[in-house]
Amino acid sequence: MGLENERREYRHGRLDRESLRDHPVAQLRHWLDQAIASGLVADPTAMCVATVDAAGRPWQRMVLLKQLDDRGLVFYTNLGSRKARDIAANPRVSLHFPWNAMDRQAIVGGTARRLGAADVLKYFISRPRESQLAAWSSRQSSRVNSRQALEAQFMQMRDKYRHGEVPLPDFWGGFRVEPDEFEFWQGGEHRLHDRFQYLRRVDGGWEIARLAP
């Protein structure tokens, strides 16, 4: 069977204006809580971060959402990574939550800003020790000769910091995406999907509109 014949109907549910929260962060939190509680989504906090570099070339990758409030959405990364370099050139990003098992998507557009050192340190010390060591072991997005070389670097870091706490690397940090646009997508039968867009108004409030599928 060819790819053109791969399809199914979306029957998980409907989305209407009356059921939406007035604030998009509250709506995103509601859907996130449902994705976590459902047990259907393997990584409910996973989101795709889309960036554009200085030459206008887009790129995407998955990260984990680590904080969500009215100020925005937070994720952490190596500051030498491709995503961090792209953000330095163009801080406008898009985030995408692919909750396919629930026939849902949530998309966020906004501006990414570096977190302060205190926030980064607070999160870093909460990570499992192995994750802290991995941050030291990987110069993210740089080329490596082999898997064995990466594992050897991890073992070296484990030996180096065998005693005491693992310090925060100076090349590791985080970003808060300050949103100005949200879209919530619920798959519908016959491709009549429900889509709602939130756009930030100049007064700081949010305009809500239904979009054609």
Catalytic residue positions, numbered: 191
Distance CA 204, CA 160 (A): 49
Q: Which amino acid is at 82?
A: R
* b/e map 7-29, b = 16+ CB within 10 Å: eeebeeeebeeeebbeebbebbe
* Cβ neighbours for 141, distance < 8 A, ≥ 6 positions apart: 78, 80, 81, 82, 83, 85
Task: Tell me the DSSP string of 7-33.
Answer: -----S----GGGS-SSHHHHHHHHHH
Q: How far apart are CA 131 and CA 115, in angstroms?
A: 19
